[in-house]
Amino acid sequence: MSAPREQFGSRLGFILAAAGSAVGIGNMVGFPVAATKNGGGAFLLIYALFVAFICLPVMLAEMSVGRHSRKDPLGAYSSLTDGHKGWKLAGWLSIITPFMIAVFYLVITVWIFGYLFHSITGNLDMLAAPDTFGSFINGYDLFYYMVGVLAVIYLILQGGVSQGIEKAAKFMMPTLFVMLVALVIFVLTLDNAFEGVKYYVIPDFSKINASVVNGALSQAFFSLSLGMGIMITYGSYLDKKADVPGSAKMVALLDTAVAFIAGLLILPAVFSFNPDINTNDLSDSSVGMIFTFLPKIFLALQTTIGYVGASAIASFFFLLVFFAAITSIVSIFEVPVAALMDEKKFSRRKALGWMGLLLVIFSLMAATSFGMVDFFTGFISYAGQSKSFFDVIIDVFYDTILPLNGLLICIFVIYRWKKENFNKELDEGSPSYEHSWFERYVDFSVGTFIPVILLLVFINTVALKYFGTALIG
């Protein structure tokens, strides 16, 4: 007889854990920059519409499949289709994808942890130097930081769902929010800060084109951790009394709120310390902002609050981003761990051991692909560009497979599992959802235009990433 399924201890715990998976590095830095460069308030409006009308129904599809099946993505697809080989392949995609995303996310989290360490130990001037990042990611100290990050991840996950993931989320998410608001309040008191607020929130519809719209959809979809199997896995830890639609709305709201508030930190800071900044010069890369641009901004604070004060603010920020990264990677890595526990009947400790070993091996390959090891640095070429092993992981699993996984879950719940079962699962625990306009909209959207949009995003991504030709935008 199998052991009873682990469960979240409370609705709040589930919401904070799911929101923690959604709130990541992209929310803290990537979203504010994308909004500023692509129409400010206009981008925010488009993003919010995509979250509400496209991403939320997809999230409900994933959560409902998880709760009904009480299994990981592979087990869910298999059990609800009596082991159909085609849908089992979709299940495998939903296991392999989060594992590979965890690989590159671990590398970036290690970088953040290293920068946090140097900020706390008074090396902010070193972090702000132009050549620091390049030498840092190719230094052997990186492996010590990796041990520290892996230890944190292991300590959280070995505690299981209620005693590990839920407890960590209940501490980290409120702390992250308080730190974020505190930093925003501080930054808004600085000179010229409100110029950044204006650039961030005032709509500029002239910048909106097909490419920006596509980018807003991608940002919203990826931000909410869709297509990674996380919401299927977390949904499997919910009891039948849980209000899935209500919880999904709260997760989407919290994720969007954190992303928006982060913009009130990043852009005012940029404009305060560099009033003549051209927003077009801001890096599209979250990595570029965190590791090459922001340390210079924090160092500039020493003229007003001294070097110690500047280092303290920098430490505060990197701790904030570290918390965001940890809550995300814990959720991402739980998916393959849960799959190994379900499919092979491993204990949580044994599953963590085997998956952790694989994570370390692949992460070392990715971490050494920036010049340390030539084979991984020039791993492959496509679309006329040489790609490192790290680049390939992002291109294939983050940019390409995620919308495909979203497309597959939509097709699955409406046309294979059938919408009657889909609705019945969501109605259970949420009487107000039954026969509501929201239920009718979710039914219609998941079965019609959302799969079409995701298919177009997938095709366009493949054409752009691997053939160098954009079909849209």
Which pLDDT does position 87 carry in this prediction? 93
Q: Residue 422 region, left (φ>0) first, then alpha (ψ -120 to 50), else beta?
A: alpha
Within 8 A by CB and 6+ apart from 372, the residues are 138
Give me the sign of the Cα torsion angle 8, 11, 13, 15.
positive
State the Cα–Cα distance between residues 48 and 55, nearest whole angstrom. Answer: 10
Predicted local confidence at residue 281, as pLDDT: 62
Assign a CATH topology to domain 11-467: Hydantoin permease (1.10.4160)
HSE-CB at 271 with a 13 A cutoff on CA atoms is 23
Residue 128, both tokens: 């702000």
Helical H runs in 210-301?
Answer: 210-223, 230-235, 244-273, 286-288, 294-300
Instruction: Let me know the angle formed at the C-alpha of 308 by 304 and 314, rounded to the nearest 5 degrees.
Output: 85
Rg (the chain; Cα; Å): 22
Provide the residue ranges of all domains of the chain, joining segments of one domain with +: 11-467
pLDDT on residue 303: 84
Structure-token pair, residue 108 = 């970036």
Q: How far is CA 36 from CA 223, 268, 284, in A?
A: 17, 11, 11
* Alpha-carbon gap, residue 98 to 161, rounded angstroms: 18
Strand-pairing partners, residue 380, are: 387
User: What span, in angstroms and rounded, lies between the C-alpha atoms of 258 and 28?
Assistant: 8
Taking the C-alpha atoms of residue 97 and residue 80, their distance in angstroms, rounded to an integer, is 21
CA distance 66 to 426: 11
Give the Cα-Cα-Cα angle 384, 385, 388 (nearest 5 degrees).
Answer: 150
Say if residues 330 and 70 touch (Cβ distance below 8 Å).
no
pLDDT (0 to 100) of residue 19 = 86
Hey, which residues does 387 pair with through a beta bridge?
380
What is the predicted pLDDT for the residue at 280? 64
Instruction: Write down the pLDDT at residue 9.
Output: 84
Digits of tens for pLDDT over the chain (473 positions)?
355 678 888 888 999 898 888 888 878 877 887 887 778 888 888 999 999 999 999 999 999 999 999 999 999 999 999 878 889 999 999 999 999 999 999 999 999 999 999 999 999 999 999 899 999 999 999 999 999 999 999 999 999 888 899 999 899 889 988 988 988 998 898 888 888 898 888 888 888 887 778 778 878 887 788 889 999 999 999 998 899 999 999 999 998 998 899 889 888 888 887 777 666 666 555 676 788 888 988 888 888 889 999 999 999 989 989 999 999 999 999 999 999 999 999 999 999 999 999 999 999 999 999 999 999 999 999 988 999 999 999 999 988 998 999 999 999 999 999 999 999 999 999 999 999 999 999 999 999 999 999 998 899 889 888 988 877 65
Q: What is the pLDDT of residue 193?
A: 87
pLDDT of 1: 39
Query: Token pair of 172, please?
Result: 């980290």
Q: Which of 61, 36, 89 is nearest to 447 (CA)?
A: 61
Instruction: Give pTM, 2 decimals.
Output: 0.91
